[in-house]
Every structure is written in C-alpha cells, then in structure tokens.
Structure 1
Amino acid sequence: MKIVKIIICVLFGLMFINGGLNKFFNYMPMPELPAEQLKIMTAMMTIPWLMPLLATMEIIGGILFAIPKTRALGAIVIFPMMVGILLHHIIVAPEGIIMAVVLFLINIWIIADNWGKYKPMVN
C-alpha cells in the first residue's frame, strides 16, 4: 500500500509541476475554449502577476507533494488551488469534474493522513 501512495503522490505532484511549467513556457497546445471559459481566462490574464503566482505555487506545491518528507506542506500549498479547480469544474466546465474530484480527494486524503502534523498550527 505504501508504494501505491508514493506512486499516486508523485504523479499528483508531477501534474501540478507540469501545469505550472506550462503557464511559463506554453508547451502544451491550448484547446478551443467555450465563451464562458474564454471570458474567465481573459479576466485572469489581465492581472499581470496572477498567472506567474499560480504557476510558481503549482511548481512549488507539486515538488513538495512528490517528496514524502515535505508532502504534508505540499498538500496545504496545493489545497487552495485544488478548491478553485474543483469549483471551476462544478460551475463552468462540468466535463472535467471527474478528474477534478479525483485530484481533490487525493489532496484531502494526504491532508487527513498528515493531520497530526497540522495540529500544532491550530492549537
């Protein structure tokens, strides 16, 4: 079971690293976006620091998540972005909801698995 967890966490981390790097280098082709999603993307692009911030946090969070020793911190770093991804797919792009839910559940699983490490922050 431990090897399964390691594989899932490394793949999860790599997905976020890849997403962040793509925001900087644009190496993956952009699919044709429906009007609603295009409006959201255009709005996000008007804030010059937003995409670099998201990309940086995705890369940092992905690296932290993939490394067992820093996984608890990576799960917390990625969590706000994961909530945004999930809400986006619930409200705007339901065709991607299954993947968003699976990734969200992996993130919650790792947070729950490391709950003891977070307790000192809330006590």
Structure 2
Amino acid sequence: MTATVTTTAPTRVRRSAFARHLTLVTRVVTGLLFTATGLNGFLNFMPAPDPGTMAPAGVAFTTALHATGYMLQLSSGVQVVAGALLLAGRFVPLALAVLAPLVVNIFLVHLFLEPAGTGMALFVVAAEIGLAWAYRDKFRPICGPARSGGHSPPEASGRRGIFVAGQGFQPSDVDPARARST
C-alpha cells in the first residue's frame, strides 16, 4: 500500500531589487544601531549626555532604570543579541519580535519624557515597522486566526490519532489504550 502526499509550495511575493536592497540596508543599519547601543550599555564608549541639557523627566526615568541594578543591563543584552541577529540575517523575525517592546519604549520615552531624540526614535519605529512588513510572511502564522482543524494537540481536542511529520495530526481509529496492551 502506498500513500501519496501532496504538498503545496508556499507562495512568495516577488519583490523588486530596490525593495530587497532597501530591506537589507534597513536590517543592517538597525542591527548596527542596536548592537552599538547595547554594547555601550556595558562598555560605556559613547559619551553620556549632560543631565543639565536633558529634560527633568528623562533624567528621572534614566536614574530609576539605573537604580534597579539590572534593567539597563537586561535591555543592553537584548539589544546586543537582537542586533547581532539582524546583522547576521539569522532569525530576523525573532529579533524583531524581541526588539518590539524596546522600540515602543524608546518611542514613548522620547515622545513624553525626552523630546530631544524624537527623530532617532521615529527612525527606529519606521525601521521596525518596515522590517516587520518585509518579513510579514514569517509573522502570519502567529498573527492569523486559529484555523479549524489546526495543529492543536489531540489531548486538547479529545481526538485520537497520530502525528505524521509534514501532515500534522491524522485521525486514527486505533484506541491508544488497546494499542499499548497488545
């Protein structure tokens, strides 16, 4: 008995050379930006801004982050790892998902607490959105609605069957309890 398996190739949208190059340049520049600023959090090779020139709310926020003893190091570590992933072109959707909360925070801090860096914050938001759009096919499975007959585990649905690689859950008329006893 032979089984035939038919699979459909994922549809890919052809992009122009300009769009591919723009995505590459945006990914590399964003990766460099986050890698450099993340490393600066550990090595302090960029001069810190003078607190006298910053808005008082921005100084208070930065002081509070320093006071936690871990938050700036955590943020810097995430930036280094995600920036390196963007530079390497590996796991780009994961890097974008990890950076998204930081990007939102960067934007909101500059919007409400420290207006001096709003231009750079807007660039980071635009780069994040542009890269997320360029990799939208990778985000579709986690952002789309759950499909009926999806890949939920059989225990959750009360169904019996087996999982076949490449085909997902396949119903079975064999009772697992009886199959183990024989």
Q: Taking structure 1 as the reference length, what is the TM-score of the superposition?
A: 0.91
2:71 is matched with 50
Q: Taking structure 2 as the reference length, what is the TM-score of the superposition?
A: 0.63
1:64 is matched with 85
Q: 2:128 aligns with which of 107, 111, 114?
A: 107
CA distance in 2, matches of 1:5, 1:119: 18
2:35 is matched with 17
Q: 1:7 aligns with which of 25, 31, 52?
A: 25
Counterpart code for 1:3? H
In structure 2, the gaps of 5 or more residues are: 1-17, 147-182
Kindly report structure 1 stretches of 4+ aligned residues shifted beyond 3 Å. Answer: none
Q: CA RMSD in A?
A: 1.4
In structure 1, the gaps of 5 or more residues are: none
- Residue 95 (str. 1) matches residue 92 (str. 2): no
SS in 1 for 2:100: helix
Give the drift of 1:120: 2.2
SS in 2 for 1:46: helix
Instruction: Please identify which structure carries the higher strand content.
Output: 2
SS in 1 for 2:94: helix
Q: Considering Cα pairs closer than 8 Å and 6+ residues apart, tell me whether 1 or 2 has the greater RCO.
A: 1
Q: How many residues align?
A: 123
- Residue 31 (str. 1) matches residue 49 (str. 2): yes
